[in-house]
Amino acid sequence: MATSVLIPISEYLKTTYRPDREYLDGEVVERHVGKWEHSRVQALLTGWFIQHERSWNIQTATEWRTQVSSTRVRIPDLVLVRSGAQPEVLEDAPLLVIEILSPDDSYSDTQQRAEDYLRMGVTTIWIIDPSTRTGRVCSGSNWMQRERLEVAGTAIYVPLDRVFEALVSGGVVEETK
């Protein structure tokens, strides 16, 4: 039986891991590193959001340590926050958390991650599955499959069909005409 060594969060926060790891209740936990489609969708979404940062008054970050509670640090694939000075570790609920599924992700792990974000106060979470070419929006306790993912009450959106089109054909995500 494998045993794990528990460390204080202060030690975790001053340690660099390659690739970075999450911190769950004293344990440093490896996470699934994306393969081609995961990585490409992450890049396409990042490019889309960077194009809109000024008009939407946001900043985009990938794989930013996000302290969801006093004993847990998650590393979402993407987060959107309001523009301004940012801390080294995100402690306030971002506008949006995006998780992109990899072939190794399980439903239960993804659900647990989403629950951590909701408890933190995140009001909108997107889960994107490159293998099925689908996206789900979580707003509160409701999960809805959508082709256009939006953050309610803001101008923030993504035309998911365009993301998957760019995934297959190359290029960037184009504005919906």
Residue keyed to tokens 């590193």: 33
Q: Please give the pLDDT value at position 173.
A: 86
Give DSSP secondary structure letters for 86-109.
--SSB-SPPSEEEEE--TT--HHH
Query: How do strand 124-129 and strand 142-145 relate by DSSP bridges?
Result: unpaired
User: Is there a contact between 23 and 9 (Cβ–Cβ < 8 Å)?
Assistant: yes
Digitized pLDDT (tens) for each residue of the chain, 177 residues in all: 555 779 999 999 999 999 999 999 999 999 887 789 999 999 999 999 999 999 999 999 999 999 999 999 999 999 999 999 999 999 999 999 999 998 888 878 888 999 999 999 999 999 999 999 999 998 767 789 999 999 999 999 999 999 999 998 888 887 765
Residue from 72, 97, 96, 59 nearest 13 by CA: 72
d(CA 136, CA 38): 16
Nearest to 60 by CA among 34, 73, 42: 42
Q: Which domains does the chain have, with CATH numbers?
A: 34-169 (3.90.1570.10)
Return the pLDDT at 41: 96
Backbone angles phi, psi at 13, to 5 degrees: -65, -25
